[in-house]
Amino acid sequence: MTSSKRLLSLDVLRGITVAGMILVNNAGACGYCYAPLRHAKWDGFTPADLVFPMFMFLMGISTYISLRKYNFDWRASVAKIVKRSLLLIVIGLLMRWLIEGCETGQWTNLEHLRLMGVMQRLGICYGITALLALFVAHKRFLSIAIGLLIFYFLLQLLGHGFEKSPDNIVSKIDFAVLGANHMYLQGKQFVDPEGVLSTIPAIAQVMIGFVCGGMIVNHKDNGMRMQKLFLMGSSLLFAGFMLSYACPINKRLWSPSFVLLTCGISALMLAMLIYVIDVKQQKNWSLFFQIFGVNPLILYVFGEVFGDLLRVWGVNQYLFQTLLQPLFGNYLGSFSYAVLFLSLNWLLGYLLFKKQIYIKL
């Protein structure tokens, strides 16, 4: 396999993460959600906590592949990187503005507009990682990523950074920079899940993905690719679990142990999919996720905006209370709504896929 040939396993794993994010974020009724689809309330880890960091890890891989086409020449790449980064941030802000405007009817009042979010974090972390890739030797990337995690860990250690309280340094920075009105749930959970200080380890997450992207592109043989990814994934996974004794695994804080754990799982899953799909050619099952993986941006944005609008309009509650809950009960009924909504997103993706329309920034 040449480095220019598209890895189906990469698209499939990306599709798994997008489908997972849509499924996790669109339960039919609040409070009725199976445990694997609920985020950990503070310390801890569930499958729902994996999908977003895995997407960021894969974004790091895609960043290496895309910049490799320009031979990492800053003159050909800087403008594209800045444009893409800013567009991701602007799309994130517009999504929140649209949803809050429909909910409150106040389109010009930005007093409670959340400034950070998933798209904003993607834009910031992509932009910084991609720009570093143009001016910093790639062999130093892993060391820089580990350095960022150590720096963040020390800040947490010295600033009550693991406590669920206003004294947490992560909370203090979020409140000082963003203000309570512009945080997730107006700061009621003390920190913003995509806040200011926790962006530091999130950048490290994308940089580790970038390193794995180099492994994929620079090794033509799938056997060597799998070996490198298994070694990297196992090492990160072990390091994450060991570090968790001193640094709790926490998605809301994006703790260093959380970064190592999720990067390790992501690398191992990618290695496994390369074996199943690209080596053994067992890919008949993968079309469902491939459709999400080739158009991740538009399907995620559609899922987030339309899903929130259905909640604002009360459609999810109506379907749950009048049809799904009487048929299946609370938990299965709520899950059924999420599956139906995911299927609606898939149909949009299938239409784009059949027409060979791939929407990218």
**51 falls within a domain:** no
Tell me, what's the pLDDT at 32?
86
Whether 361 maps to a domain, the answer reads: yes
| Domain end residue (candidates: 252, 279, 306) | 279
Q: Are residues 320 and 193 in the same domain?
A: no
On whether both 235 and 308 belong to a single domain, the answer is: no
Within this chain, do residues 130 and 33 fall inside the same structural domain, yes or no? no
Domain that includes residue 260, residue range: 56-279
* Residues 84 and 129 reside in one and the same domain: yes
Residue ranges, the chain, pLDDT below 50: 1-4
Phi, psi for 221 (deg, rounded to 5): -85, 130
Residue-wise pLDDT tens digits, 308-351: 999 888 888 899 989 999 999 999 999 999 999 999 999 999 99
Do 94 and 232 reside in the same domain of the chain?
Answer: yes
In a domain, residue 271? The reply is yes
Residue 49: inside a domain: no
What pLDDT does 111 receive? 87
Q: Are residues 345 and 231 in the same domain?
A: no
Give the pLDDT confidence score for residue 105 in this predicted structure. 82
Q: Terminus-to-terminus CA distance in the chain, angstroms?
A: 27
- Residue type for position 315: V
Whether 211 and 325 map to the same domain: the answer is no
224, 253, 279: which is the final residue of a domain?
Answer: 279
Task: Looking at the structure, tell me whether residues 329 and 227 fall in a common domain.
Answer: no
- Give the count of domains, the chain: 2
**Segment 194-230, tens digit of pLDDT:** 999 999 999 999 999 999 999 999 988 888 999 999 9
Q: Looking at the structure, do residues 154 and 89 belong to the same domain, yes or no? A: yes
- Point out the domain boundary residue: 230, 247, 279: 279
Q: Do residues 287 and 159 both lie within one domain?
A: no
Query: Is residue 257, in this structure, part of any structural domain at all?
Result: yes
Is residue 48 assigned to a domain? no
Residues 158 and 249 placed together within one structural domain of the fold: yes
45 located within any domain: no
pLDDT at residue 5 in the model: 59
Say whether both 64 and 26 belong to one domain: no
Are residues 236 and 290 in contact, defined by beta-carbon separation less than 8 angstroms? Answer: no
Residue 176 lies in a domain: yes
